[in-house]
Amino acid sequence: MKQAYVLGHHISHSKSPLIHRHWLEHTSIDGRYDVLDIAPEALADTMTALRQNKDFVGCNVTMPHKQKVMAYLDDIDETARAIGAVNTIYYEGEKLTGTNTDAYGFCANLKEHVEGARLQAAKKGVVHIIGAGGAARAVLYGLIQEGFRDFVIQNRTREKAEALAFSYEKDARFRVIDETVINPSSDVSLLINTSSLGMAGHPPLNSDLKGLDLRAIVIDIVYNPLYTKLLLQAQVRNLHSVTGIGMLLHQARPAFKHFFGIYPQADTKADHKLKELVLEK
Ligand code: ATR
């Protein structure tokens, strides 16, 4: 039996088992996907035990292990190295390899919801990113790969935004701001929240979207709630908006393929059902 996990700590809320088990149920794969809740001090022993488990085919990695786990792998691919975090571990031949599918998930969701010519046009504008944590790093990496070149990073802690800009400064132009109010200017084509603000149990974003051009697209990677205050503000202004649930599904697809060898079906109707399932749990 092929055994995969999500490896993290305090992860009872993780949606990954729901998604992977749903795909397993719809294939004939003899596989399992379970939660592995591991404290940081037990990570080394856990990685040794996983290597010894002949059923183990790989795992997703989440907080707080996304960086520390790199020390226990045989190889880290270019994407994970550039993002500085691993969210998926799998066997490439004999080698336990780390990758990161978050940038892919973000961009796949964007392309699913924004038509090609419109996305192309958006590349001429400024991308305004809220937040400078691990999620922001993955989103930024993905957008640079897609050809976006002009960014504003807005973050409470200025130094973190500056560090993020610095690590990509050879690839794109950056401006950093640390104001608390989100007030995007008229040259912004994509406004993206990558921070935890607006998530259930967290304070809302303090945002005023009246400066945005009517062609601007507003994206939130938060999916609980699905329609954050930011997205509702965008809808009131008739701006195209993209919710965060699709990123969650899209980042899981290549991981499932790495673990179980089959790319999960990707049709709108099947995805809609799965999104409903994820959102109601
Ligand atoms: P992730 O890996 O999911 O991106 P993270 O690295 O903890 O998580 O980053 C969370 C982001 O949300 C950061 O940009 C953080 O801002 P700081 O860099 O200033 O910590 C932002 N964030 C979280 N809580 C916030 C709050 N109350 N006000 C403003 N920003 C907040």
Mean pLDDT of 268-276: 87
Could you tell me which residues come within 8 angstroms of residue 184 by beta carbon, excluding any fewer than 6 positions away?
128, 152, 191, 209, 211, 212, 216
**What's the confidence (pLDDT) of residue 270?**
83
Tens digits of residue pLDDT in 192-246: 999 999 999 999 999 999 999 999 999 999 999 999 999 999 999 999 999 999 9
245 half-sphere exposure, CB direction, 13 A CA radius: 17
Q: What angle do CA 261, 106, 111 make, to 5 degrees?
A: 95
Strand partners, 154: 130, 177
User: Which numbered atom of ligand 1 lies nearest the CA of 66?
Assistant: 2
Known catalytic residues? 66
Confidence of residue 139 (pLDDT cuts 50, 70, 90): very high
CB atoms within 10 A of CB 215: 12
Confidence of residue 71 (pLDDT cuts 50, 70, 90): very high
Could you tell me which residues come within 8 angstroms of residue 68 by beta carbon, excluding any fewer than 6 positions away?
40, 43
Mean pLDDT of 63-84: 96
266 pLDDT higher than 80? no
Mean pLDDT of 76-90: 96
Confidence of residue 251 (pLDDT cuts 50, 70, 90): very high
d(C-alpha 241, C-alpha 96), whole Å: 38
d(C-alpha 164, C-alpha 281), whole Å: 34
**What's the confidence (pLDDT) of residue 268?**
80
Residue 263: phi and psi, rounded to 5, are -80, 125
DSSP string, 80-126: HHHHT---EEEEETTEEEEE--HHHHHHHHHHHHS-HHHHHHHTTSE
Per-chain mean pLDDT for the chain: 96
Confidence of residue 74 (pLDDT cuts 50, 70, 90): very high
Confidence of residue 162 (pLDDT cuts 50, 70, 90): very high
What is the model's pTM? Answer: 0.95
CA of 153 to the centre of ligand 1 (A): 12
259 pLDDT higher than 80? yes
Confidence of residue 143 (pLDDT cuts 50, 70, 90): very high
Among the ranges given (11-15, 31-35, 62-66, 142-146), the one the predictor scored with the smallest mean pLDDT: 11-15
**What's the confidence (pLDDT) of residue 148?**
98
Ligand 1 site residues, Cβ closer than 6 angstroms: 131-136, 155-157, 160, 194-197, 203
Strand partners, 268: none
Nearest to 122 by CA among 229, 236, 239, 250: 239
User: Which numbered atom of ligand 1 lies nearest the CA of 137?
Assistant: 4
Name the DSSP class of 21.
H
d(C-alpha 251, C-alpha 245), whole Å: 10
**What's the confidence (pLDDT) of residue 198?**
96
| 190: helix, strand or coil | strand
User: Which numbered atom of ligand 1 lies nearest the CA of 63?
Assistant: 2
d(C-alpha 59, C-alpha 61), whole Å: 6
265 pLDDT higher than 90? no
**What's the confidence (pLDDT) of residue 280?**
86
Mean pLDDT of 75-104: 97
Q: What share of the chain is helix, strand, coil (3-state, %, to 5)?
A: 40, 20, 40
CA of 135 to the centre of ligand 1 (A): 9
Name the DSSP class of 152.
E
Percent of the chain with pLDDT over 90: 93
Among the ranges given (126-140, 248-262, 264-278), the one the predictor scored with the smallest mean pLDDT: 264-278
Could you tell me which residues come within 8 angstroms of residue 277 by beta carbon, excluding any fewer than 6 positions away?
18, 22
